[in-house]
Amino acid sequence: QVKLVESGGAVVEPGGSLTLTCVPSDSTFVIYSSHIMGWFRQAPGKEREFVAAVTWRNNKKFYAESVKGRFTIFRDAHYNAVSLQMNSLKADDTAVYYCARNTYGSMHADGLKYADWGRGTQVTVTS
């Protein structure tokens, strides 16, 4: 069962911006303070890679080196939502972006520690 729903993917020109949003698929999905919410992406022919994560307890944020300074992850504890603001987009950012929940509370960059995933949203950066 898909527990998270991503939105906001689109076709954008290099240098452009997008904001992706992730919300629970229903009200039974709860993000506890010990959890971490993350964004991953997978480009065609490549493995899935970590993009960004945020701890729900204290809003600590983590980023992959490739997006640091360009992407910002936000959490909204009231709506159990997490967003990814992406600026200065490059062609290399083209991928399907996935939102996921880590219930281990650690190893934020390890996709295997995330049990709940969305179906993804496509981001295409092209001129």
Alpha carbon distance 2, 72 (integer Å): 25
Question: Tell me, what's the pLDDT at 55?
Answer: 96
Q: How many CB atoms lie within 10 A of CB 82?
A: 28
Question: Tell me, what's the pLDDT at 61?
Answer: 97
Q: What is the pLDDT of residues 69-115, one digit of tens each?
A: 999 999 998 888 999 999 999 999 999 999 999 998 889 999 999 99
Alpha carbon distance 7, 19 (integer Å): 9
The rounded mean pLDDT for the chain is 95
Q: What is the pLDDT of residues 88-98, one digit of tens each?
A: 999 999 999 99
Cβ neighbours of residue 65 closer than 8 Å, sequence gap 6 or more: none
